[in-house]
């Protein structure tokens, strides 16, 4: 069988070893060298181009159905639990704790839960909805397992590597939020990011109020493509008296976007994290669809107040 392997950045160092195992089984194996941002970003075009019969995608669970033979290997990782005793000094003021993690550590949630329950805490693990598949699992774009339990707990604890996943969760919740990073050996309270990103959001909206033209980002990635939203936003922008263009790419290059000098702002319809993580990478405001609608609403209010004879209080 001809197979294409696809790995996220953190697992690319394992690619050759996995390829050799499959080759010894009699398969012809290719390795995708492109970046991937999740199971929403399958290398389907590459697989079809080389005539692969199967795509093996590592590091993520199934995100959405595609009309191709895809095998998902979530790649469980047994992270050290050494920091759990130390974390008690951070969360002992909170009786009921919510737990979230990534797909790599979902299998460790029961052990973490048992530890906290043995330390007189109540533990809540949220059920998945949307794109997540396992209880307690969060994705960069789906933090329902955290948001759904926010009102039921006193604090939320994320266990896992990096800040990409907990950042999405902390912005969608209101309770105290702690991150246990077992690979770096750190425990951090994450609440401060809420105000930081709220300020950035307000700044983007205010900067976009004077925009005369807006570029709409539309990706060709199989799990992020949303042409209907792009067309809807284009119509809404033009109704508000601005010009709009739909910009198409697989992966957006922000330096290239900066070269599109005709646009005064951009709005994202691709991965929702672009309008969270990448807004500082463009010279012009880069907004989410909701932020665009807020900017349009404020523009309309300003114009109404500025009209001659407008009512004043």
Q: Which class would CATH give 196-304? A: alpha beta
CATH topology of domain 84-190: Rossmann fold (3.40.50)
Crossing angle for the helix pair 289-306 and 192-207, to the nearest 10 degrees: 50
pLDDT band at 213; cut points 50, 70, 90: very high
For residue 313, the model assigns a pLDDT of 45
Q: Quickly list DSSP for 64-91.
A: S--SS-EEEE--------TTHHHHHHHH
Residue 121 has pLDDT above 90, yes or no: yes
The two three-digit tokens of residue 277, written as one number: 């993580």
Residue 200: enclosing H or E segment and its boundaries? helix 192-207
The CATH homologous superfamily to which domain 2-73 belongs is: Diphthamide synthesis DPH1/DPH2 domain 1 (3.40.50.11840)
pLDDT, mean of residues 4-22: 95
Report which DSSP code applies to 202: H
pLDDT, mean of residues 266-295: 94
Q: What is the pLDDT of residues 66-115, one digit of tens each?
A: 999 999 998 899 999 999 999 999 999 999 999 999 999 999 999 999 99
Domains 84-190 and 196-304 fall in the same CATH topology = yes
pLDDT band at 296; cut points 50, 70, 90: very high
Task: Name the strands in the sheet holding 2-6, side by side, starting at the edge strand that comes first in the sequence.
Answer: 28-31, 2-6, 54-58, 70-73
295 touches 203 (CB < 8 A): no
- Burial class of residue 253 (count of CB atoms within 10 Å of its CB; 0-12, 13-18, 19+): exposed
What 3-state DSSP class applies to 129?
Answer: coil
Nearest to 168 by CA among 189, 184, 190: 190
Crossing angle for the helix pair 84-91 and 109-118, to the nearest 10 degrees: 60
For residue 308, the model assigns a pLDDT of 61
Report the C-alpha gap between 47 and 2 in whole angstroms: 9
Q: What share of the chain is helix, strand, coil (3-state, %, to 5)?
A: 40, 20, 40
Residue 311 has pLDDT above 60, yes or no: no
The two three-digit tokens of residue 306, written as one number: 């500025």
Residue 306 has pLDDT above 80, yes or no: no
Residue 309 has pLDDT above 90, yes or no: no
The overall average pLDDT reported for the chain is 94
pLDDT higher for 64 or 236? 236
Report which DSSP code applies to 137: B
Nearest to 210 by CA among 295, 291, 308: 295
The two three-digit tokens of residue 31, written as one number: 């390795």
Report which DSSP code applies to 15: H
Residue 290 neighbours by CB distance under 10 Å: 13
Q: Where are the domains of the chain?
A: 2-73, 84-190, 196-304
186 pairs with which residues across the strands?
181
Q: What is the pLDDT of residues 14-51, one digit of tens each?
A: 999 999 999 999 999 999 999 998 999 999 999 999 99
Q: What is the pLDDT of residues 145-189, one digit of tens each?
A: 999 999 999 999 999 998 999 999 999 999 999 999 999 999 999
Residue 98: enclosing H or E segment and its boundaries? strand 96-101
pLDDT, mean of residues 220-231: 96
pLDDT band at 129; cut points 50, 70, 90: confident
pLDDT band at 130; cut points 50, 70, 90: confident
For residue 173, the model assigns a pLDDT of 96
Report the C-alpha gap between 161 and 181 in whole angstroms: 5
For residue 14, the model assigns a pLDDT of 93
């Amino acid at each position: 069988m001809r197979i294409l392997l696809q790995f996220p950045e953190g697992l690319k160092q394992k690619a050759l070893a996995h390829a050799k195992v499959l080759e010894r089984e009699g398969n012809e194996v290719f390795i995708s060298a492109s970046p991937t941002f999740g199971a929403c970003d399958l290398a389907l075009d590459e697989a079809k181009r080389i005539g692969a019969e199967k795509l093996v995608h590592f590091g993520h669970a199934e995100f959405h159905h595609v009309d191709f033979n895809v095998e998902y290997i979530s790649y469980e990782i047994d992270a050290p639990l050494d920091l759990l005793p130390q974390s008690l000094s951070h969360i002992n003021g909170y009786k009921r704790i919510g737990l979230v993690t990534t797909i790599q550590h979902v299998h460790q949630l029961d052990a973490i839960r048992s530890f906290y329950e043995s330390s007189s805490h109540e533990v809540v693990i949220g059920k998945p909805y949307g794109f997540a598949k396992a209880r307690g699992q969060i994705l960069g774009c789906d933090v329902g397992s955290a948001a759904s339990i926010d009102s039921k707990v006193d604090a939320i604890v994320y266990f896992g590597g990096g800040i990409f996943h907990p950042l999405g969760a902390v912005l969608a919740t209101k309770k105290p939020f702690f991150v246990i990073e077992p690979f770096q050996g750190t425990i951090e309270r994450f609440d401060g990011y809420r105000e930081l990103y709220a300020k950035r959001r307000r700044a983007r909206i205010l900067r976009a109020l004077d925009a005369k033209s807006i570029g709409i980002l539309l990706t060709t990635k199989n799990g992020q493509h949303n042409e209907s939203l792009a067309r809807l936003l284009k119509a809404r922008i033009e109704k508000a008296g601005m010009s709009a263009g739909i910009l198409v790419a697989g992966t957006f290059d922000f330096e290239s976007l900066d070269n599109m000098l005709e646009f005064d702002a951009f709005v994202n319809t691709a991965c929702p994290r672009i309008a969270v993580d990448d807004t500082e990478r463009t010279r012009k405001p880069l907004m989410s669809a909701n932020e665009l609608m807020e900017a349009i609403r404020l523009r309309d209010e300003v114009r109404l107040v500025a009209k001659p004879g407008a009512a004043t209080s």
